[in-house]
Every structure is written in C-alpha cells, then in structure tokens.
Chains A and B, each alone.
Chain A
C-alpha cells in the first residue's frame, strides 16, 4: 500500500534531482541531498521541541530514534527476512518452498569447493595475521622510530581491498621463464633457478596467494590493538617479575600473553568475521575462477551473473549463520573477562 504511494511519488521527481551527468550537476545533487537531509533533520528536531514535560519526553525519544529505526527496518531487517524466504524458494528464488538450495550447497562439487576455500581462509587469515601483528608489536615495542615502524604495517588498512589486490597482482605477475620478469615474486624464483609460476591460476596455490593479501591488510589491525594491549600492562607487574628474575620467554608466556588475552580474542574473532565475508580480493584478483571462489564471491556471482537469486540468497544466509557462533564466542569471552 505505502510502497504504491512511494512509487508514484518517485515517478514525479524531476530527473536532475535523481541523476546527473555533468560535474556541476553531480555536486548540485550532492548539496541538494545534504540540504534535504538537513531540512528533514531540522523538522524532526522542531517537532521534538514542541513537546514539553515528562510525557512529552516520550514522544521526543520516539522522534529522535525514529529515523534510524525506520531506515534500519526498511533497509536491513525487511530485506534480510525477504532474503531468508527467497533462499527457500528454489534456484531462482521465485518458486515454491524447497530446501534445494541448501542441499545443493552441501552436495554440489563446485559449491563444496567454495565452502572448503572459505574454511581455509577463515582458519588461516586470523591466526597468521594476528601472529605477525603480535610478533611485530613485540619486536618494535619501545624501539627507536616505533611510530614510523607501526605506520608501515598499518598503512595497508587505509587503502581499499581493490587497491591492495592490484598491488599484489603485480607482485604475482607471470612471464615465461625465458623472458625478463616484471613481477617481483617470479623474478626471485627465476634468480634462484626455478621455473616461473602462474600464481593466480595454479590451484590450490592460488587460494594461498590470495590469502597473503588479506593477511597483509589485517596484520596492521592486529598489531595496533595488540600493541596498545601490551602497553597497558602495568609497570609494577613487570618490575616485580624482573626482580624475581623471570626470564624473557617466561615473561612473555606467563605475563604478557595472559594480560593481552582479551585483546587477542577480540582481534582473532574480528579478523575472522571480516575474512568470512571477503569479496573484493577474490573478485579483483581472479573473479573466483580457477577454483578460488569463496562464499561472498559466489553469492555475488550466483545472484548477479548466473541468475540464481535463490542460491545466492542461501549463500548470504549461510554467511549470516556462520557469523553468529563467532560473535557468541566473542561475547562469552568478554563476559568472562569482565
């Protein structure tokens, strides 16, 4: 009912307020959007200011949270429910009720490969990235030029995964062994007397080459959080341990590690969730070809390229389901620490 009204209203909006080709038109559109938003925002606040007293406060509260709640219901909850329904309606998502998509997901060889790849990603990336991040945080702690050293590892976090993928694709660039190499990794192989490799085409090697990119991005995140956790260990504990003659390795094992445990759990689970949903890297570097696809990439391909909306929906639901245990584990750990 309301959607009919909205469709009608939308049909009457003049085109320059919807789309623009010229640079000026685009910026006009941008300022128009911000102004429109400011007007709506001001209207909400004005309405809220009309209510007075304790009962009025209730209406004010509803007005304040209203816009956010409406948007979340429209843009997140409602679509999520539709997607769940769609996943039970056959391959295209338009048929009658069936569990076909989920059966397919766990039986069809190509999709099993996707699940296997995703499992490899989710197992390897969080632990390697956290391991490297922790090692680096320890190595440079209190060293000269610490801020600079951190920035080097941290910077990959600021760039897009698309940018990171291009950077690494160039490192992996392949030329036949006899020709001059332009990719760093193959140049090293050649210099050492090996044949050059098609790193992004040869399975299963290619999945690991993609994983390196994600580790490269996430290690900086792990390093930052863990470095902060290390610095938060009280000096007194360290001094006391030193006076007791505790050795370096034992110091790490029995003082540092237990002290930063909560931060470690958070870092590993956060990277795990991010890795589960990895899409940009796979799409930019291989497009999911050569046996490198993962769930998030397969979701995109099935939904938009293979016209299998139902299967795509089922893959999206799978992502959702897989995130939940990680989050629950995270919350349980936090409770334990608190």
Chain B
C-alpha cells in the first residue's frame, strides 16, 4: 500500500486548482484568500503558534530517528537522542557503514539494488503501455471503445488484494515465482487503470485540430503519437511517473507477496520491515536502514514536487 493516492476531481475543479498550485510562490504574486484572512484576523500570534506546534509535531519524530542513526550503538540504547547534542563525540557513520557493508547478513546494499532494479522497469512499462492505450481511447475510433474505456476506468477501484493470490499461482506455474518478472508485471498491471485514465484526461485537453492538421499532412497514428503527442505529454508523463516511482519504491505488499524475503530479489522495504520484526531493538541498524530506504524517494520528491502536485490534483484512484 502506498501513502499516495492521486484523486478523482471534477475536471473543472482540478483545472482551477492546477493553475493555482505553486509550492514555491514568487514574491509579490501571492494570492489572497479568505481563510488566510480569517486566521490572521482571529489573532495572528495564536495562529502562528498553532502552525508552529503542528510543524514541530510533524517534524520531531523524523529528526529523532535521523539523529539516532548517527549515534554510537551504545549511546542509542542508554540515553535519549535529545541528550546527544551536548556530547558530539557519540556521533558516528558506523551505523550506515554496517548497514551497507556488503557480505554481512545485516547488509542492506543488495536489497537497495533490488529496489532500483524493480523500480525502473515498473515505472517505464506502465507509462508507455498506458500512453498508447490512452491515445487510442482519446483519438482513435474503434468498435467497443467507450465500453472498454469505462471498464478500464472502473478497474481503478479494485483493491489489488483481490488479485494477489491467483496471480501468484499463475507466476509460480509459469516459472516466474520469486523473480523480478513477477513484480515488474504486477506493478505494471496494477498501475494501468490509473495511468490510462490520467494520461487520457491530459490527451483529451489537446486541441483536436492539432491531430486533424497532422492527418491532413498525411501523418499516421504512429507518427502523431511519437512526434506530436509524446512531447506535449511530458508534464502528464512526469506527473504519473513520479507517482508510480514513489509507489513502487515504497511498496511493501506486492513485493512481500510475490518475492517473499528472498535476498536475491526482495526490495529494501521488505528487508527493513523484516528487521523491525526480527531485530526490533537493533536501533543502530533500523534507523540507518530506514533512512537509506528513504533518501532516494525524498530527493526525487523534493526535486519534482511541482509535477507531483499537478498529478495529485488531476485524478483517479489506485490500489
């Protein structure tokens, strides 16, 4: 299960929102809002205080574990992380070194590689397959098109739990059990309804004249798809790509079901969750492991959050 679920919005609403979303507003063009006025009018100092309290509550747990991940093993178990600031000699990189050292049973490095190997195809495949399908649904007349599109749209509500076990049986039967193929295929399949729907929405917004003009010039659908549509679709593809990236990178359930804990294939989330159960008090390892698993998605997220927010507001359900 992901933490992320793009949402279904009335189309006009999502467009309104998109135009106003800007996580890094430029100075001087901040928009006025009724609610902001309300907060300020009630009493500014209290509003600020409340905001600070929420911000602190939301940040402290992460900071606590982050600080812990840099403390010596002994120090972690004998005093609170908040006491560490007065004694910087206890800080060390040893936890990370141990967590990443190859060859040891506690090593996370191969799981980290598994996560990368799982994630890249599991993002690319649904992106292309869904763009192709979305293009046909948006711009090509063929028999049964509308019924099929509604069916794909409706599949968004099917929880993936419903599909897991029969799918696992199939993979094992085909000799794909506990292989990357099983998760690549599964992530691709589970992503298709939302991806097709999202990309279709973006495609429908492009002017039909663009397509018509290209047709008149003798371009076929394949040419139009590659030369005209894909470049125009970059923001939509980026938005969905980030979702799918975070979803696959952070996934636990799909990998757990299809890969189990097999070190050759299991991703880092599965391993960290396992460590939490089997070595729940090994905080030097858990804290470093948790941050190793988080660093990539957080970096990607911060770098591309504008696309992410746009995707968030543009619709659909997944899972």
Contact = CB atoms under 8 A, between A and B. Distances in A.
B92 interface: no
Interface in A113-150: 132, 135-143, 146-147, 149-150
Interface stretch (B177-185, B206-214, B231-239): B177-185
Which label, helix, strand, loop or mixed, suits the secondary structure of the A interface?
A: helix
A284 to B, nearest CB: 5
Given A167-B290, A304-B257, A228 B35 contact: no
16 contacts: A29-B180, A64-B133, A65-B136, A138-B38, A139-B47, A150-B23, A155-B301, A163-B291, A171-B61, A187-B82, A225-B17, A235-B31, A274-B1, A287-B277, A315-B161, A334-B9
A216 B61 contact: yes
B24 A147 contact: yes
B54 A153 contact: yes
Given A158-B297, A170-B283, A224-B309, A141 B35 contact: yes
Contacts of A182: 76-81, 283
A18 B17 contact: no
Contacts of A136: 51, 54-55
B162 interface: yes
A26 B309 CA distance: 33
Interface in B127-141: 128-130, 132-133, 135-137, 140-141
Contacts of B35: 137-138, 141, 230, 233, 251-252, 256
Contacts of A309: 165
Interface residues of A, number: 154
A189 interface: no
B258 to A, nearest CB: 11
Given A75-B163, A303-B165, 9 more contacts: A27-B117, A65-B142, A65-B145, A74-B170, A161-B1, A182-B81, A232-B19, A267-B7, A284-B273
Most buried by B among A57, A71, A220, A255: A71
A330 B5 CA distance: 14
A231 B158 contact: no
Given A76-B163, A316-B159, A30 B180 contact: yes
Interface string A237-271: 11101100001110110011001001100110010
Interface string A5-45: 01100110100001111010011011001100100010011
Contacts of B196: 68
- Count chain A CB atoms within 10 A of each CB in B39, B42, B257 and give the residue with the most: B39
A164 interface: yes
Nearest to B154: A327
A162 B272 CA distance: 7
Nearest to B270: A162
B95 interface: no
A153 B48 CA distance: 15
Interface string B166-178: 1100100111101
A157 B294 CA distance: 11
Interface stretch (A99-107, A202-210, A275-283): A275-283
A317 interface: yes
A290 interface: no
A37 B61 CA distance: 42
Given A79-B167, A156-B3, A64 B132 contact: yes
B117 A29 contact: yes
A211 B104 CA distance: 35
A303 B170 CA distance: 16
B1 A30 contact: no
B244 interface: no
A284 B114 CA distance: 20
B317 A218 contact: no
3 A-B pairs with the lowest CB-CB distances in the bound complex, closest first: A61-B142, A75-B189, A141-B36
